[in-house]
Amino acid sequence: RIADADAVPLDELLVDAQTREGVQAAIARCEPDEQAMIAAIYFRGQSMHEHAAATGVHVSTVSRRHARALRKLAEWLKEAPP
């Protein structure tokens, strides 16, 4: 059988799945409002301005909370086993 030139190697698929699971686990550790913000911005495509308007929070507050959440996620992902 001829290999599919567009096929993604299995090891890459496994790494992608592990990365996705690690990110999901890290997001689950966030506070509910941080989880909602991450979902709005990264999964639903809202801008920070749109999220601020939707939640009634000033955009500078959303920006600070976003930066803090990303720092926490980065730290938790560093702690995760490979």
pLDDT at residue number 4: 59
pLDDT at residue number 39: 95
State the Cα–Cα distance between residues 11 and 21, nearest whole angstrom. 15
pLDDT (tens digit per residue) in 20-74:
888 999 999 999 999 999 999 999 999 999 999 999 999 999 999 999 999 999 9
What pTM was estimated for this model as a whole? Answer: 0.76
DSSP 80: S
- 15 pLDDT above the threshold of 80: no
Indicate the Cα dihedral angle 22, 24, 30, 31, nearest 10°.
-170
State the Cα–Cα distance between residues 49 and 66, nearest whole angstrom. 12
